[in-house]
Amino acid sequence: MGVMERLVLSDAAWERIAPLIIGRPDQKGSTGRDNRMFMEGVLWIVRTGSPWRDLPEAFGDWNSVFRRFSRWSLKGVWWRIFEAMSDDPDFEYLIVDSTIVRAHQHAAGAKKGGSEDQAIGRSRGGLSTKIHMAVRGLGCPVRFTLTAGQKGDAPQAAALLEGLPAEVVMADTAYDADHLRQAIAAKGALAVIPNNPSRALKYPLDKHLYAQRHLVECCFSNSNNSAASQPVSKRQPEITLPSSLSQPSSYGCDKCPHHLARQQIGML
């Protein structure tokens, strides 16, 4: 099967993305050559984890695509697309969590102060980056941030939740901090967070609601299925496009009702 038969952007997704990009025909300045195919080329790199030099010619010259990708990153285009594509009214639940991505061995040796700018730090497993993510009730990401691998979870949570409506905020024990519980209460939301064993004053925990926290693990699992997020190709933090650009083939946890339903009808 050729590259052109494996394009992933639907017409509906492109209609939402097209007004957000730069180099449109209705803008002043130069017009980007085949913006949709450029997006497909970036998605191909994300899916396969291949070096830019291996980009198929169908997407254009690899160096031109790479430089254009870099320009969009510097101008915040990818963040703008992420925010638009992750916009959804289903904010009954917000779930926060983090995961570690080991940095490639060639990430070492940056100039002093440069590694922090690239969200690379030294944790117990060596050079690494930590991805902090907020996921909505449907299991899709709505906001994420990158820090050095040794950074704590709870200090990053307030920024992830700021401005996002929610009735329930779920997190694991690493987020059991008074300042975070107070911030959640100020939003008018219920904090569903297990108590740290060292806590003297214990808070009640709704275990039925807490069982839904697996959705953030599913989100991380789905992201890790992308070859571009694997440790072997992790040279520095890069923006991963939201899963809402293309429907995932399956969910990463057998607790998901979607996963169970597909099993029942023989789709998995």
CA distance 207 to 203: 12
The pLDDT value recorded for residue 144 is 85
CA distance 260 to 169: 25
The pLDDT value recorded for residue 248 is 38
Among the listed residues 206, 174, 171, 169, the one whose alpha carbon sits nearest the alpha carbon of residue 190: 169
Q: pLDDT by residue (tens digit) across 97-121?
A: 998 887 766 555 555 555 445 678 7
| Intervals of the chain under pLDDT 50 | 29, 115-116, 227, 229-252, 257-268
CA distance 161 to 132: 11
Q: pLDDT by residue (tens digit) across 131-164?
A: 898 888 767 788 888 888 888 899 999 888 888 8
The secondary structure of the chain in percent helix, strand, coil, rounded to multiples of 5, reads: 45, 15, 40
Give the pairing type, strands 141-148 and 190-192: unpaired
The pLDDT value recorded for residue 110 is 55
The pLDDT value recorded for residue 192 is 94
Instruction: Specify the pTM.
Output: 0.57
Burial degree of 158 (CB within 10 A; 0-12, 13-18, 19+): middle
